Structure 1
Amino acid sequence: MIALSLAEIAEVVGGQTHDIPDPSVQVTGPVVRDSREAGPGSLFVAFAGERVDGHDFAAAVVEAGAAAVLGTRPVGVPAIVVDDVQTALGALARHVVRRLGATLVALTGSAGKTSTKDLIAQVLRRKAPTVFTPGSLNNEIGLPLTALSATEETRFLVLEMGARGIGHISYLAGLTPPKVGLVLNVGSAHIGEFGGREQIAQAKGELVEALPSEAEGGTAILNADDPYVRAMASRTKAKVIFFGESGEADVRAENVRLTDTGQPSFRLHTPSGASDVTMRLYGEHHVSNALAAAAVAHELGMSADEIAVALSEAGSLSRWRMEVTERPDGVTVVNDAYNANPESMKAALRALAAMGKGRRTWAVLGKMAELGDEALAEHDAVGRLAVRLNVSKLVAVGGREAAWLQLGAYNEGSWGEESVHVSDAQAAVDLLRSELRPGDVVLVKASRSVGLESVAQALIETGAEGEVSAR
């Protein structure tokens, strides 16, 4: 974080200082909510959760070097006491962002946010120091913590914004006002909570409404291939840049194809020129993510050649997202188990089909959460797609939703041993361990709550060390 004194922080957050001998002492380290991350000059934010109360670790973090604690009560060590820690954290982030000279890029969408954010960061940091959201810390706590990790040297701040309802993105954009706003897509993720795609579009479009006008330097970057996103152009006063495979897109891809290993290659066109890209990531769905990143980079002054080189060299920065591991016996394990929704599930299956040409393919799939009344139809559709893509075997893991996946495959024509329903992760591991052969490709994917990353990890460890169990 930029250096601020405890007195300045107290004023910004509207708090009272307690047990602080010298209010001029500065916070020069990171702002953290995990006591294990506290170090010299840090500020520890004490949240009181259902099972753990951060205030109980106050003495330990100060002993580790923290300058003070931000909490809701005095704790016997230097502290700034506020009525609400989350509100105070947001106010501090807003203050720091205003002080920074960085360009703030915010992005949202139903699918691909984290992968696209990672691409944007890898491209922009070739131009100047860049801070970006780690993993998927895109909510009212994770976003301000990321913003507060910026320093005086930061020139680009890339923030992922998630939403579970109307007004969430407006709130986040108010904490960290963006100059560039990117909307990827409007899909089915969390449709059970929102109530429909129109409501999802309303929520995602709050980002472009929060942008400054074109005269003030604001830019909205929108997916020309998604009608819900394209329509958001009318909701902003910012400059509008379209990306996509559509001929009307300002930043577009031509001659899209997949390599023999399932990695996308295409000709990138921008208003400033064209260049060829061959990505290290797997799956054609990354083309749209790459175009979104290219549109941001173009708008911030990078040439087509610079962007193409950066995209071609970019990798995956966040765990369990199409992580590809080749076992010594030739089995390929694709761990995409961080999360799942209908769009990302279908994209992963298509990537599996591309990677597995001439090889046996396995789709180990589990529940997609928060789909509401659409759950049965969406799980059925994924099961059917697995059959249409000629996936060699579908392993549906878990309860009711997994049964719907297997039923969809059955109704599409998977009547023999091409699909199976198993009860849990360990049952899946046992099945795969007994039936996998050298050269097979295995995709593992489900919503985060299912925990199927344990299946992928068990398969990787089995190939390296022998028999292990899913944990």
Structure 2
Amino acid sequence: MIALSLAEITGLVGGQPYDIPDPGLTVTGPVVIDSREVRPGGLFAALPGERVDGHDFAAAAVAAGAAAVLATRPVGTPDRPVPAVVVDDVTAALGALARAVTARLGTTVVALTGSAGKTGTKDLTAQLLSRLGPTVWPPGSLNNEIGLPLTALRADEGTRHLVLEMGARGLGHIRYLAGLTPPRIGVVLNVGTAHIGEFGGREAIAAAKGELVEALPEAADGGVAVLNADDPLVRAMADRTKARTVLFGEAADADVRAADVALTGQGRPRFTLHTPTGCGDVTLRLYGEHHVSNALAAAAVAHELGMPAQEIATALSEADQLSRWRMEVTERSDGVTVVNDAYNANPDSVRAALRALAAMGEAASARGGRTWAVLGPMAELGEESPAEHDAVGRLAVRLNVSRLVAVGGQEAAWLDTGARNEGSWGEESVHVSDVRAAVGLLRSELRPGDVVLVKASRAAGLERVAQALLAGEGEVAGR
């Protein structure tokens, strides 16, 4: 974060100082919400959590070196008060501080949204832009009213690019986030079915995602809307912005497009990248054809910021998976491959993961391996939940996935029913109650060469299946 005195911070967030002996003391460290992450000279934001209240850790944060605490009430004890900036709402104060800091920087803000692929695209974009200059981006999926300000506050005077995710669970959310860190370049990846139960339909989702392009500056002021040419609802957002529009995709009229898309034997995408100023061959290190669209979005941003086409192609081919539990591929010493994609799930992302598994299965079958899809609930689908889970179960059969393990309650039952109704028989599809049962089944039946995909919505905690399989390396049938 740029250096700010406690007096300046107090004014920017509309707070009141409490037991601050030196208002001129400068905050030079990061702003954090976990007292264990405090660094000397930083600022600790005391947020109430589901299980704990950050105010209870205020004294520990200052003892660890925080200059002060951002809090909703005086903290510490009467005999040992803790220096604080007291505000009505800590989350709102974080946003106000991020807005003020971003406004003082000459940083190019790039914001991304979409129903699926935000984190992967953010990681690719950040790796490309880092070649052009110092770049700040969030680890994982810090894309809400807390995570976005925390990321923005990591930027300083040397930051050239700030790459941000913007998530939404309703209308107005992205408009609010864009107001905190006004983007010059906005990227809309797709309009899918994530959170459809909360929005009520894809048109409502499109309305929410389009708030990003509405927030962009006019074309004359450098605003650029990067839109998916292959998604009609996203393409239509060109009419909602005064920014210049750049299209990416496989469509013939896309400004940045992919041609000759194919998968390697390991399931990695390769294609020829075409831009207005040149082309280059790309082979991604990531798994699954769905990453082609993500890579094109990142390429479009990099091209807008001056990176030559061949350098973009090279950078994409060298880019790694940065965020955990997203198509995280690990091969055990016994030949079993575990694909941990358990960070989150919606119908679109599960379909993409299943197709990636099917592609990886072609190489696995050559060495006697099978494909396993260990799937759990997809949350927030509302009335669409039974049909969407049923459809995913059917798709697993159509893609010739060898075994489907549906983990959990009613949603898992719908997955299993879809698979069986599509034509699965015997034990090809099995419904188990919990993670322990899934791990037990897999440990008893996995064999060398098998590929196991693990995916579900975050609340299901299915990453524990992948972790158990990797911790229990060698515990497969016949070993």
**What are the ranges of 5 or more consecutive residues in structure 2 without an aligned counterpart?**
76-80
1:380 lines up with 2:390 in the alignment: yes
- Residue 78 of structure 2 corresponds to which residue in structure 1? none
1:89 lines up with 2:99 in the alignment: no
- Residue 139 of structure 1 corresponds to which residue in structure 2? 144
Superposed CA RMSD: 0.9
* Residues 449-460 of structure 1: pairs in structure 2 closer than 5 A: 449-460=459-470
1:272 lines up with 2:284 in the alignment: no
* Residues 19-418 of structure 1: pairs in structure 2 closer than 5 A: 19-75=19-75, 76-357=81-362, 358=365, 359-418=369-428
Shift of 1:382: 0.6
SS of match in other structure, 1:242? strand
- Residue 447 of structure 2 corresponds to which residue in structure 1? 437
Shift of 1:50: 4.7
SS of match in other structure, 1:356? helix
Length-normalised TM-score, structure 2:
0.96
Shift of 1:51: 3.1
Per-residue CA deviations over 1:310-363 (Å, capped at 9, x if unaligned) read 110111111100000101110100000001000000000000000011231111
Residue identity matched to 1:18: Y
Shift of 1:412: 0.8
Residue identity matched to 1:400: Q
Shift of 1:277: 0.2
Per-residue CA deviations over 1:106-153 (Å, capped at 9, x if unaligned) read 000000000110000011001100000210110000000000011111
Per-residue CA deviations over 1:208-257 (Å, capped at 9, x if unaligned) read 00000000110000000000000000000000000000001000000000
User: Which whole-Å CA distance do the structure 1 matches of 2:277 and 2:145 have between them?
Assistant: 37
Residue identity matched to 1:251: V
- Residue 462 of structure 1 corresponds to which residue in structure 2? 472
SS of match in other structure, 1:135? coil
User: Which whole-Å CA distance do the structure 1 matches of 2:450 and 2:286 have between them?
Assistant: 19
User: Which whole-Å CA distance do the structure 2 matches of 1:52 and 1:392 have between them?
Assistant: 44
Residue identity matched to 1:433: R
Residue identity matched to 2:274: H
Residue identity matched to 1:10: T
Shift of 1:187: 0.2
User: Which whole-Å CA distance do the structure 1 matches of 2:232 and 2:210 have between them?
Assistant: 12
Residue identity matched to 2:71: G
**What are the ranges of 5 or more consecutive residues in structure 1 without an aligned counterpart?**
none
User: Which whole-Å CA distance do the structure 2 matches of 1:327 and 1:166 have between them?
Assistant: 44
User: Which whole-Å CA distance do the structure 2 matches of 1:21 and 1:453 have between them?
Assistant: 47
SS of match in other structure, 1:83? coil
User: Which whole-Å CA distance do the structure 2 matches of 1:329 and 1:262 have between them?
Assistant: 20
Shift of 1:49: 3.3
User: Which whole-Å CA distance do the structure 2 matches of 1:389 and 1:309 have between them?
Assistant: 32
Residue identity matched to 2:162: L
Shift of 1:258: 0.3
- Residue 436 of structure 2 corresponds to which residue in structure 1? 426
SS of match in other structure, 2:472? helix
Q: How many residues align?
A: 466
Shift of 1:16: 1.1
User: Which whole-Å CA distance do the structure 1 matches of 2:117 and 2:190 have between them?
Assistant: 9
Residue identity matched to 2:403: K
User: Which whole-Å CA distance do the structure 1 matches of 2:50 and 2:264 have between them?
Assistant: 49
Residue identity matched to 2:372: W
Shift of 1:154: 0.5
Shift of 1:383: 0.6
- Residue 448 of structure 1 corresponds to which residue in structure 2? 458
User: Which whole-Å CA distance do the structure 2 matches of 1:296 and 1:304 have between them?
Assistant: 12
Per-residue CA deviations over 1:26-57 (Å, capped at 9, x if unaligned) read 00000011111112100011113353221221
User: Which whole-Å CA distance do the structure 1 matches of 2:446 and 2:467 have between them?
Assistant: 15
Identical amino acids, percent of aligned pairs: 77
Length-normalised TM-score, structure 1:
0.98
Shift of 1:73: 1.4
SS of match in other structure, 1:463? coil
User: Which whole-Å CA distance do the structure 2 matches of 1:372 and 1:236 have between them?
Assistant: 31
SS of match in other structure, 2:344? coil
SS of match in other structure, 1:164? coil
